[in-house]
Chain A
Amino acid sequence: GAGVSQSPSNKVTEKGKDVELRCDPISGHTALYWYRQSLGQGLEFLIYFQGNSAPDKSGLPSDRFSAERTGGSVSTLTIQRTQQEDSAVYLCASSLAGLGRGYADTQYFGPGTRLTVL
C-alpha cells in the first residue's frame, strides 16, 4: 500500500519568505509526527498530532514554526520568515496510533522535504 508522502521533495527559498510543507500520512494512521534532520542537530522531534490535535508542540524551535492537521489526515508545517538555520530535511512520520497503544507503535517515515534557505 501507499506509504507516507511529502511534498515538495525539494524547496529553495529566500530568507524571510514563508514556506509550507505538506505530509500525507498512511491511510488510517491517527498519529502524525514531524521531525527535522539537519547537519548540526541530527534528527529532532518537532511536533506530534493525535487526530487533529497537537498535544505536544515542544519541539518546535520558535514561534515562526506552526503546524496543523485537518480531517485527521493531511498535515502542513509552515515556517514563517525563514532563516538560513531553518535549512534542513523535514521528515514526516505516521503510526497507527500514538499514546495508548503500547510501547511498540511503529512510526513510518516519508521521504522528506529538503528545504534550502538562501
Chain B
Amino acid sequence: GNSVTQMEGPVTLSEEAFLTINCTYTATGYPSLFWYVQYPGEGLQLLLKATKADDKGSNKGFEATYRKETTSFHLEKGSVQVSDSAVYFCALRRGDSSYKLIFGSGTRLLVRP
C-alpha cells in the first residue's frame, strides 16, 4: 500500500543549526510529494512540494528533493530560527490522478535561542 514514514521527534536544535527531517515513502506509480507545517495553534500550511523525480521544492529557506531511487523526500534547512519551531508533516499524493493525501506521523521541531 501507500505510506509515508518520518523520523520520530522531537528534534531539538539550537538557532542557526542545520536541519534534516527524514521522509521516505512507499507508493505505486509516480506520486507527488509534499511537506506541510503546523505552527502552534494554527492549521496545516503547505511548505513545499515536488511532482516528479529529481524536482526540488523550496520555500522559506527549506528544501526537499524528490529522490525516486531512494524513495525519499528529506526536508533540509541550512540555518533554523526559533520561529521554525513547529510540527512538520511529509505527505504523498498518488500519481494516478488521486486526490487523497497520505501523511506521515509528523515530526516536532523545537529550536532554542
A contact set with B: CB distance below 8 Å: 4, 31, 33, 35, 42-43, 45, 48, 56, 59, 91, 93, 95, 98-100, 103-112
Contacts and interface: CB of A to CB of B under 8 A. Distances in A.
Contacts, number: 54
Nearest to B98: A99
B42 A111 contact: yes
B1 interface: no
Interface in B68-113: 89, 91, 93, 95, 97, 99-106
A63 B94 CA distance: 27
Given A42-B103, A43-B89, A43-B103, A106 B46 contact: yes
B75 to A, nearest CB: 16
Interface in B8-58: 30, 32, 36, 42-46, 49, 51
Contacts of A98: 99
B97 A103 contact: yes
A86 to B, nearest CB: 19
Nearest to B49: A104
A109 B44 contact: yes
Given A91-B44, A106-B46, A108-B46, A100 B101 contact: no
Nearest to A106: B46
Nearest to A112: B43
A106 B32 CA distance: 10
Contacts of B95: 103
